[in-house]
Every structure is written in structure tokens, then in C-alpha cells.
């Protein structure tokens, strides 16, 4: 029996047919990515295999109709025992709910039982900014001594945009030649996630970094073409920037968390530490919700506690 066949016997024919219809719906009408469809099908098949053992037979649509919240809790508990983390469990539950809601729209099951289950609480990891001193070193073109001068200047200009304007790497690389911040530029209009537009102020040091890159670049960026170019004159790949950052952090002895995106975290954290208003920082970052920005208050508090533990004379006193 093939692996594909072993998956299909975990459910009766009516359910297997419904899974195929659901995936077709997600792919053609909702246009989900192939890898998302693969993950969703894997999660639903895991649930169906659990039900086969749980019910002592492969489930059909009639069995799905009779499911209770306790059945979903049992599935999550079994996945937890097998080592699945909260993020994996939450994603799996989302896929199962999507499938059952699809069946509900066809009048074949009631999806209320799955909706009654609260997804596992996920531990929220704090952003890991770099220090102000390390950020300034990372955006210095002279730090990349092994790169060609124009490549070092280009990388420094990109990283300066991330730290100086709080841009995502995709936003920096989406800038066109016409949008290049030159001396005298005061602001940039950025289109971020979800098509949300925001205006970010541009510091003179950002303009200087871009001007240095343009003066050394052997290619001329076209007004409607990408501002940042690769060594062959094509659009600069985000991967190249990530590799350049990896080389810099190794040379400077920085942790693996010092990624290009960490400079955006540093932008927000350093603004907040300097007295920046949380609502303003939200607008500068392009966050849709203030709750997303509020995580930086936790970062700032954590840094204060670390400083306290290092510096306070009674921090390490035995109780």
C-alpha cells in the first residue's frame, strides 16, 4: 500500500471526496499557495487518522456531524503528546475548522463543535533588537572590508534604511530609482503589508548612504526600476542582504538574532527608549494594530530589568 493510499483509508469515500473538493475550493477560489494547501491537507489527514483510532473505524460525513468538543480536545492532546508545539497545534486546528466550515456551507455537517475549542495559547517571543552602538556599526560601509566598494556602499544603504526608517527589507528593496532618498529628501511614502501606505521621515544619514551607493554603483537605476541592484545589474535579492548581514555579525561577534529585520526592531525599541510615543511608532512601522507595536514596551522593560540585574548593588544578594 502506498503512502497516499494509507492516507485515504483514514476516512470513508464521502469524506475523501469532500477533502478533494475543499482543497480545490481553496486553490481555485481563495487562491491559497500550494504549500498552504499541502499543510492544510496534512493537518486534516492527521485528524482523520486520529478519528479512525478514536472511533474504531474510518470516519464518514455522518461521524463528522456527530463530533463533540471533547473529540477535538482529545486530538489536540494526542498531538501534544507526540511533541507538537502550540504553534503547530493552532495551525492544525485552523485547517480542520476550515474544512468543517466548508462542509457546513454545503449543509453536510455542523461545525459548531470545532468552533467551541480555543486554540492553544502560544508563547509570544520578544523581538531581539541590537544595541544602538552595534546598529551604527552594522550600517557603516567600512565594516564590510571584504566587499567591493560599491557593494559595501549598497549594503550599507539598505541596512541604513532598515534602521533609520524602520523599513522591512521587502519595502527597502521595492524602492525605485525615482523614489531614491537624496540630499534634501524629508520623507518617503511606503506601501507596506496589506497595501497600507505610510509616510516615514528620512534622516540626512539615510540620504547620504544612498547617495554614496549611487555615486559608486556601476549601473544606473532606472526611474521605474529597482533602486538597489545586484552585481549583474538586476534587482537585488533579499537573500544577498541577509548573507551580507550574516558576514557582518560574524565579523563583529554578534548573535544569530542580528538579522536585517532586527534593525527594524532596533528602530522601534530605540525610539521608544528615547521617549517616542507608541502611537507614532505604530504609524512609522505601518502596524495595523497598536497591540502589535505594544510588544516593544515589553522589550524595553526586559532591557531595563537586565540592566538592573547587572548594575544594582543588591540585585544578586541572597535572600
State the greatest distance between any 2 C-alpha atoms of the chain, in Å, as a whole number: 73
Catalytic residues: 168, 193, 261, 264, 287, 296
Amino acid at each position: 500500500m502506498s503512502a497516499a493510499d494509507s492516507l485515504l483509508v483514514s476516512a470513508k469515500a464521502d469524506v475523501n471526496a469532500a477533502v478533494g473538493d475543499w482543497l480545490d475550493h481553496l486553490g481555485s477560489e481563495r487562491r491559497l499557495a500550494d504549500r498552504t494547501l499541502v499543510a492544510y491537507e496534512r493537518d486534516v489527514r492527521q485528524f482523520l487518522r486520529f478519528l479512525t483510532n478514536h472511533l474504531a473505524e474510518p470516519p464518514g460525513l455522518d461521524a463528522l456531524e456527530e463530533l463533540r468538543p471533547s473529540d477535538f480536545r482529545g486530538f489536540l492532546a494526542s498531538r501534544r503528546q507526540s511533541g507538537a508545539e502550540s504553534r503547530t497545534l493552532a495551525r492544525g486546528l485552523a485547517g480542520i475548522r476550515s474544512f468543517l466550515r466548508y462542509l457546513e456551507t454545503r449543509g453536510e455537517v455542523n461545525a459548531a463543535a470545532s468552533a467551541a475549542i480555543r486554540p492553544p495559547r502560544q508563547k509570544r517571543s520578544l523581538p531581539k533588537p541590537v544595541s544602538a552602538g552595534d546598529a551604527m556599526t552594522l550600517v557603516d560601509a567600512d565594516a564590510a572590508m571584504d566587499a567591493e566598494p560599491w557593494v559595501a556602499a549598497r549594503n550599507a544603504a539598505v541596512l541604513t534604511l532598515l534602521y533609520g526608517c524602520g523599513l522591512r527589507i521587502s519595502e527597502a528593496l521595492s524602492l525605485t530609482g525615482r523614489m531614491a532618498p537624496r540630499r534634501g529628501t524629508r520623507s518617503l511614502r511606503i506601501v507596506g503589508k496589506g497595501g497600507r501606505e505610510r509616510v516615514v521621515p528620512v534622516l540626512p544619514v539615510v540620504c547620504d548612504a544612498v547617495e554614496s551607493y549611487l555615486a559608486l554603483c556601476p549601473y544606473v537605476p532606472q526611474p521605474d526600476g529597482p533602486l538597489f541592484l545586484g552585481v549583474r545589474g538586476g534587482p537585488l535579492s533579499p537573500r544577498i542582504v541577509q548573507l551580507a548581514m550574516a558576514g557582518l555579525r560574524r565579523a563583529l561577534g554578534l548573535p544569530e538574532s542580528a538579522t536585517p529585520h532586527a534593525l527594524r526592531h532596533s528602530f522601534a525599541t530605540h525610539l521608544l527608549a528615547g521617549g517616542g510615543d507608541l502611537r507614532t511608532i505604530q504609524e512609522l512601522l505601518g502596524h495595523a494594530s497598536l497591540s502589535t507595536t505594544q510588544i516593544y514596551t515589553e522589550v524595553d522593560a526586559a532591557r531595563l530589568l537586565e540592566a538592573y540585574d547587572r548594575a544594582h548593588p543588591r540585585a544578586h544578594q541572597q535572600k
